[in-house]
Amino acid sequence: MKNVYAIGFGTYEGSVIAAEKWGDPAQNMLVPKARSGSWEHELHFAGPFNKFIMFNEDNHQFFTKQIGHRAIGVVYHNQFEHLGNYVPSIMSERYNAFVHVDQTNALHPLT
């Protein structure tokens, strides 16, 4: 598809607004430190600051390793973080760009 871009977001640790299941009220949830060896862990240890990465022909070859990428969406279960929540990903094939916020703070929904 032309003119369609996928931008991924991730964090090393912090808090997010999510629900335990679809239709449940949103709540503030803690996000534990990223699993060792995951994409978010690697970005944190490359330097504990926010990052923006554009994947392109010049750098694609540096991001072809399959790596665990934390999945946090509308539904999130931080108590099961150690069991799952990580999707095997080749980041330069999954996204056109990636925003890494090293430490997040849950947003407050607009009312």
Q: Give domain status of residue 110, yes or no.
A: no
CATH number where 40 lies: 3.40.1660.10
User: 106: closest CA among 35, 43, 30?
Assistant: 30
pLDDT tens column, 11-65:
999 999 999 999 999 999 999 999 999 999 999 999 989 999 999 999 988 999 9
Residue 101 has pLDDT above 70, yes or no: yes
Residue 67 has pLDDT above 90, yes or no: yes
Q: Give domain status of residue 2, yes or no.
A: no
Q: What is the per-residue pLDDT for 79?
A: 86
Residue 1 has pLDDT above 70, yes or no: no
Q: Give domain status of residue 109, yes or no.
A: no
Rounded CA gap, 98 and 52, in Å?
6
- Expressed as residue numbers, the domain containing 16 is 7-104
Q: What is the per-residue pLDDT for 82?
A: 77
- Supply angle C-alpha 82, 63, 66, rounded to 5: 40
Please state the domain count of the chain.
1
